[in-house]
Amino acid sequence: MEKILREKDLLAGAAFVVIGGFFAVGALDYGIGSARRMGPGYFPLALGSALMLVGLALAGKMVWQRSDNLVGTLYVRPVIALFAAILSFALLLETAGLVAACVATVLLSALGSRETKLLGSLVVALVMAAGCSLLFVEFLGLPMTLWRF
Amino acid sequence: MDLFPNLALGFATAFSLSNLLYCFVGVFVGTVIGALPGLGAVTAISMLLPFTFGFEPLGALILLSGIFYGAMYGGSTASILLNLPGTPANAIVALDGYALAQQGRAAMPLFMSAVASFVGGCIALVLVGVAAPAIVSIALEFGPAEYFSMMLLGLVAASAVAATSFLRSIGMVLVGLLLGLVGMDIVSGMMRFTFGVPIMAEGISFIVVAMALFGLTEVMNNLEPHGRATITQPKTGWRDMMPTRDEAKRSVWASLRGTALGSALGALPGAGPTISSFMSYTVEQRVSRHPERFGKGAIEGVVGPEAANNAAAQTGFIPTLSLGIPGDAVGALLLGTLIIHGIQPGPMVMSRHPELFWGLIASMWIGNVLLLWINIPFIGLWVKILSIPYRLLYPAIVVFLCIGVWSVANSSFQLYLLAGLGVAGYVLSKLDCPASPLLLGLILGPMMEENLRRALLLSRGDFSTFVENPISGGILGACILLVIVTIMAEFRRGRRHAAPELEGKRSNVH
């Protein structure tokens, strides 16, 4: 039983049913209209329902024909590190400027790998901060602040 | 045909100083990106797309398409030297290329793969110049019903040939189509699925989605612990690059067969370089009188697939440029670039912007010549680039992704979207759900809805308009046939995998 719950077909099918259902149900609020004069909800409702059917078929295929294709280990470390790195960029760019955002993003994303060495990452951080400031702000003129205190 | 005056116009446009520069930068960056394992052409194009907003439309297209076919050249380097493909399309080259490298002859397959890519690219470009205008003259007669059916065929075909299961690809196409609907409905002006966030009214940018699924998710996958190969430093003198007379003779036909196969497959929606190179390898193995040599250093196993993937990369532009229907993720990104630059994609592009179409063709030819020049004398340099450790490289990629996404709309909201979609993409990749169909659906979604609505408005809500019209009906028939064949093949295949050793190679680069 536990093994069934880790079947990729079942989980992918379930994901499709959830996503399709979300759009199909949401579409009901927008006005369906008729085929002749489609409302804004017509196309999303049709697509969402189709996606739910595909999801059910995928999950159904698993019952009919077990592939024993189980989900492997999820490596949380890179996911969390990169998620945090991007959020830090978003938050720091407008509050502290591009240099701080670059340094924080490099250092946080470096935490995602086991092979990270502090010195190497610090060098990358400084090179990226300097390089990006020159390339994107000075040369390409993107509207970003370099420093803000 | 007016092929020659058109080509003259194209070369005149492409030979301007700025366009030559874009072309050089594009193929150079493409070669670097292709050579680095774990960074595909799609990642590179989506990363650089925002920075081309300020360019002329042609300059942007030249740069981005240069990255694409440049990556096809560069990708073989890592395959041959590291047994680690730079891009999925070069995965199969590793089988014989790496075997040759272990025999101390790495320079020879590197040289031959560049030559084969050049042959494949040049021949395929002639086909683009001839076939695309012919398709356009048919497509100009298309109404909304034909367009809708054509896009449907594109999406179905792209899913049918995808590496993983058909149901998954179709599911991902539908997810993409649904995401494409987020934002303002053009007909009624109503906000759909925006959750009251004003910036969502413009819809979910395909650039952010591409960067999340092909950039961020790729990095997350690459960070999973697995052994890394050590690099073999080859001798790169001219004499080391030369094949034996026998190898040269065998390479000629192999690269021509690869070119023919790649040109044909590349023009079909969905097939593209990866499948072409895999099929070319199988063909070479079949026609060879000594199939047992394959995997142990047969040069046909390098030049055939290399010619095929580069030919397919070029002919892949045929549906994108003539019909406005992208065949794969790269086509989708280039189409998006056109839209951003205010050019409505479709058959009208060629008559309204001839300098754009022919200039791009000419620049691709120039790019292929440049690539030959970049690749052969500088093999030693690419070897050095390959030795940059990934732990130093990927934080830089993340910063580029962030700056690129931010510059799409100068807003941090896009960055939150990037972070969220990246995690979602990682989960989906763990479930073997491919990202390319999603991107195709996302780009085609709004166009499909518009054409569907228009077709039904004209027919007063009668769905039979799609079948009664002979062209549209024929295309839909092809769709249904394709679905049935694919589903039957998938069920028959059952548990066993078609080609385990190929599957293994392919999963290396996911």
What pLDDT is stored for residue B55 in this prediction? 87
**Pairwise CA distance, residues A10 & A14, whole Å:** 6
Residue B192: strand, helix, or coil: strand
A47, A108, A114: best to mutate for the B interface, most B CBs within 10 A = A47
Identity of the residue in A51, A72, A105 whose CB atom sits nearest the CB atom of B171: A51
Please report, in tens digits, the pLDDT of each residue of chain B (510 residues total).
577 888 888 888 888 999 999 999 999 999 988 888 767 788 888 888 888 888 889 999 999 999 999 988 888 888 888 777 777 788 888 889 888 888 888 888 988 999 999 999 999 999 998 888 888 888 888 889 998 998 898 888 888 776 568 889 999 999 999 999 998 887 788 888 888 788 888 889 888 998 899 889 988 988 887 655 556 666 666 677 788 888 888 899 999 999 999 999 888 776 678 888 988 998 998 888 888 888 888 999 999 999 999 999 899 888 888 888 887 888 889 988 988 888 888 888 888 888 899 999 999 999 999 999 888 888 777 777 777 888 888 999 899 899 989 888 888 899 999 999 999 999 999 998 988 889 989 988 888 998 998 899 888 888 888 988 888 999 999 999 988 888 888 777 654 443 333 433 333 333
Average pLDDT over all residues of chain A: 88
Is B399 in Cβ contact with A105 (below 8 Å)? yes
Residue from B273, B269, B250 nearest B261 by CA = B273
List of residues 6+ apart from A87 with CB closer than 8 A: B415, B416, B419
Contacts of B128 (CB under 8 A, 6+ apart): B314, B315, B317, B318, B321, B361, B364
Q: Are B180 and B446 in contact (CB under 8 A)?
A: yes
- Calpha distance A52→B459 (Å, rounded): 29
* Biggest distance spanned by C-alpha atoms of chain B: 72
Identify the pLDDT of residue B233. Answer: 64
- B114-127 b/e (C-beta count within 10 Å ≥ 16 → b): bbbbbbbbbbbbeb
Q: Which chain B residues are within 8 Å of A144, Cβ to Cβ?
A: 406
Q: How far apart are CA B264 and CA A71, in angstroms?
A: 36
Angle of helix A98-110 versus helix A118-132 axis, rounded to 10: 150
- Cβ neighbours of residue A135 closer than 8 Å, sequence gap 6 or more: none
pLDDT band at A48 (very low <50, low <70, confident <90, very high): very high
> Which of A79, A94, A116 is nearest residue B426 as measured by Cβ atoms?
A79
Chain A contact set for B433 (CB, 8 A): 12, 15
Longest CA span, chain A: 65
Predicted confidence at residue B266, as pLDDT, reads: 86
What torsion do the CA atoms of A8, A12, A13, A17 make, to the nearest 10 degrees? 160
pLDDT digits (tens, 9 = 90+) for A52-104: 999 999 888 877 776 677 887 788 999 999 999 999 999 999 899 999 999 99
B121: phi then psi, degrees, rounded to nearest 5: -65, -45
Residue B415: CB partners within 8 Å, gap ≥ 6? Answer: A86, A87, A89, A90, B402, B405, B406
Q: Does the CB of B170 have a partner CB in chain A at under 8 Å?
A: yes
Q: Is the pTM of this model over 0.80?
A: yes
Question: Using H for helix, E for strand and C for coil, what is the string for B250-264?
Answer: HHHHHHHHHHHHHHH
Chain B CB contacts of A41 below 8 Å: 192
Burial of A16 from C-beta contacts in 10 A (0-12 / 13-18 / 19+): buried
Q: Does A26 touch chain B (CB under 8 A)?
A: yes
